[in-house]
Structure 1
């Protein structure tokens, strides 16, 4: 989308619960095939054992508001996105967040676009801020907890493993003196021809988790692959990733190679998928190095995008830009391009684990 108003991100946060499950544990439990370990590339994932997704989202939101020095009652919009169950049926998690934050004048809305939900929520926020002077700041949040027995994070899907998390970002009209980032480009391209990939051949069900009380994304993907093959999906992904990267750079005015982003942050998908489809497509458009950080978090559902922006806080110097790529079932492919503005950080950076030095940077 074309940004009608100059926007900034005042603060961004990715929260991960402290408990971890490792690939080694999943192998020992028979939840992960030995042949998949290298293709996936995940070493461990965060697991929420006590907090529900909206509770984690509230934690991330409070951190963001504190970092930005912005009161909850100053919010005009709360856009919350999720992929999986939020803890109650027929209930609004965004209104829970608004109530807990004291955001009485905010409009709380839910944005359900599976793994691309955070980018869709950013688009909603950008549109509302441009259209409604009463919306001065918008809070975008995500949260998911992929809990057994209905959801086995290690084998519910092909090519990725799911980690629990919450993310939040405060977005508003650009304030170069206070914002961490300037939002330079926000682009989404859709490929609805791929919707079968997550629907499969089963008829529409009468209730959640039908027919066998578990999430089985593999079954749907098998149906798609048997009909269309893997090449069709890979070809579409490369086409869409090229278009997203090209359009993000053009919208941000980064046309010369000297102006390339300092980092292109990859979605937290499996390593083989990134190598085969994403990295080659990016390289056709820009020589900017790609950054993969999902090996210690797993795929976060809609949390990937804001977590990717949070990853850039301590990696970009003022004036440097970073491009965060994302995708979600349906299919939607997105990019968020930001430029680091200030050297301000209101709290110390979290300690960097020793193995973070092994991050896959190409």
Structure 2
């Protein structure tokens, strides 16, 4: 999308629970073949042992508002995105966040666009800010807990392992004196012909987790690959990733060979997928170095995108830009370009203590 208004990100946070599961441990438990460790590339993944996904989102949201010095009562919109179960059925996690933050005046919205949810939420935020002068700041959050018994993070899918997390960002009209980043571009390219890869050949079910009471992405993918092979998906991914990179840089006004572009942050997919599909495709468009950080967290679902932006806080110097790439089932391929503005603000001691609890 073309940004009609100059936007900034005042603060961004990626929250990871303290629990960890290692690849070696998964092998010992019989949940992972030893020969798959190198292909996956994950050393360990983050695991929430007791926190629900919305509770983690609340932690990330509070940190962002504290870092930005922005009161919950000043929010114009709250957009929450998730991939998996939020802890209750027929219930609104976005409204829980608004109530817990004390943002009683805000409109809470849910965006469930699988792993592309955060980028879709940024698009919602940008659109609302441009359309409604009364909306000054938008809080975007994501959170997922891929917990047993219905979700085995190590075996539910091919080529990636899932980690628990929450992310948050405060978006609004650009304020160069207060914002960490200028939001330069938000781009999404879709490939709806690939939706079958996550649907498979089973009929539509009458209830969640039908028919086995567990998440089995492998079954659907195996059905698709048996029917169509891998070439169609590989070709589409290559073309869409390159289109996203080109359009992101064009919308941001950054030349592919510009020194300003410090790095390209990869989604937290498996190592083999990144090495064979993503990195070569990116290299044909820009020589900017790629950054991969998922080996210590796992794939975060919609959290990948904002966690990528959070990674850039310590990587970019003022004036440098970074491109964060993302992908989600459907399929959607997306990217976000940000430019570092201000030095990182020190959080007050009492707020830092609260965040650690």
Q: TM-score, normalised by structure 1?
A: 0.95
- Report 1:50-199 matches (<5 A): 50-199=50-199
Q: Which residue of 2 aligns with 1:355?
A: none
For the Cα contact (< 8 Å) 1:260–1:287, is it kept in 2? Answer: no
Aligned-residue offset at 1:256: 5.3
Give the Cα–Cα distance (whole angstroms) in 2 for the partners of residues 179 and 260 of structure 1: 19
Aligned-residue offset at 1:144: 0.3
Aligned-residue offset at 1:346: 2.4
Say yes or no: does 1:335 pair with 2:340: no
Say yes or no: does 1:218 pair with 2:224: no
Q: Which residue of 2 aligns with 1:353?
A: none
Give the Cα–Cα distance (whole angstroms) in 2 for the partners of residues 78 and 26 of structure 1: 37
Question: Does the residue aligned with 1:262 lie in a helix, a strand or coil?
Answer: strand
Aligned-residue offset at 1:134: 1.1
Question: Does the residue aligned with 2:261 lie in a helix, a strand or coil?
Answer: coil
Q: Tell me, which stretches of 5 or more residues in structure 2 are unaligned? A: 349-357
Give the Cα–Cα distance (whole angstroms) in 2 for the partners of residues 220 and 53 of structure 1: 25
Give the Cα–Cα distance (whole angstroms) in 2 for the partners of residues 195 and 256 of structure 1: 31
Q: Which residue of 1 aligns with 2:44?
A: 44
Aligned length: 348
Q: Which residue of 1 aligns with 2:281?
A: 281
Aligned-residue offset at 1:34: 1.6
Deviation sequence 1:215-260 (CA, Å, 0-9, x none): 0000000011011111111110000000000000000111251345
Give the Cα–Cα distance (whole angstroms) in 1 for the partners of residues 84 and 186 of structure 2: 25
Say yes or no: does 1:267 pair with 2:274: no
Give the Cα–Cα distance (whole angstroms) in 1 for the partners of residues 304 and 346 of structure 2: 23
For the Cα contact (< 8 Å) 2:256–2:285, is it kept in 1? Answer: no
Give the Cα–Cα distance (whole angstroms) in 1 for the partners of residues 198 and 120 of structure 2: 19
For the Cα contact (< 8 Å) 1:177–1:342, is it kept in 2? Answer: yes
For the Cα contact (< 8 Å) 1:16–1:46, is it kept in 2? Answer: yes
Aligned-residue offset at 1:268: 0.1
Give the Cα–Cα distance (whole angstroms) in 2 for the partners of residues 115 and 193 of structure 1: 17
Give the Cα–Cα distance (whole angstroms) in 2 for the partners of residues 249 and 226 of structure 1: 36
Say yes or no: does 1:317 pair with 2:317: yes
For the Cα contact (< 8 Å) 2:161–2:299, is it kept in 1? Answer: yes
Deviation sequence 1:121-154 (CA, Å, 0-9, x none): 0000000000001110000000000011100000
Question: Does the residue aligned with 1:258 lie in a helix, a strand or coil?
Answer: coil
Question: Does the residue aligned with 1:344 lie in a helix, a strand or coil?
Answer: coil
Aligned-residue offset at 1:279: 0.4
For the Cα contact (< 8 Å) 1:244–1:333, is it kept in 2? Answer: yes
Give the Cα–Cα distance (whole angstroms) in 2 for the partners of residues 196 and 226 of structure 1: 12
Give the Cα–Cα distance (whole angstroms) in 2 for the partners of residues 249 and 272 of structure 1: 26
Q: Which residue of 2 aligns with 1:17?
A: 17
Aligned-residue offset at 1:347: 3.5
Give the Cα–Cα distance (whole angstroms) in 2 for the partners of residues 260 and 212 of structure 1: 50
Q: Which residue of 2 aligns with 1:6?
A: 6
Give the Cα–Cα distance (whole angstroms) in 2 for the partners of residues 340 and 198 of structure 1: 36
Give the Cα–Cα distance (whole angstroms) in 2 for the partners of residues 305 and 197 of structure 1: 22
1:216–1:256 Cα change, 3 Å: closer
Question: Does the residue aligned with 2:39 lie in a helix, a strand or coil?
Answer: helix
Give the Cα–Cα distance (whole angstroms) in 2 for the partners of residues 221 and 331 of structure 1: 13
Q: Tell me, which stretches of 5 or more residues in structure 1 are unaligned? A: 349-362
In angstroms, what is the RMSD of aligned CA positions? 0.9
For the Cα contact (< 8 Å) 1:260–1:288, is it kept in 2? Answer: no
Give the Cα–Cα distance (whole angstroms) in 2 for the partners of residues 33 and 270 of structure 1: 15
Give the Cα–Cα distance (whole angstroms) in 1 for the partners of residues 255 and 165 of structure 2: 35
Question: Does the residue aligned with 1:186 lie in a helix, a strand or coil?
Answer: strand
Aligned-residue offset at 1:177: 0.3
Q: Which residue of 2 aligns with 1:305?
A: 305
Question: Does the residue aligned with 1:83 lie in a helix, a strand or coil?
Answer: coil
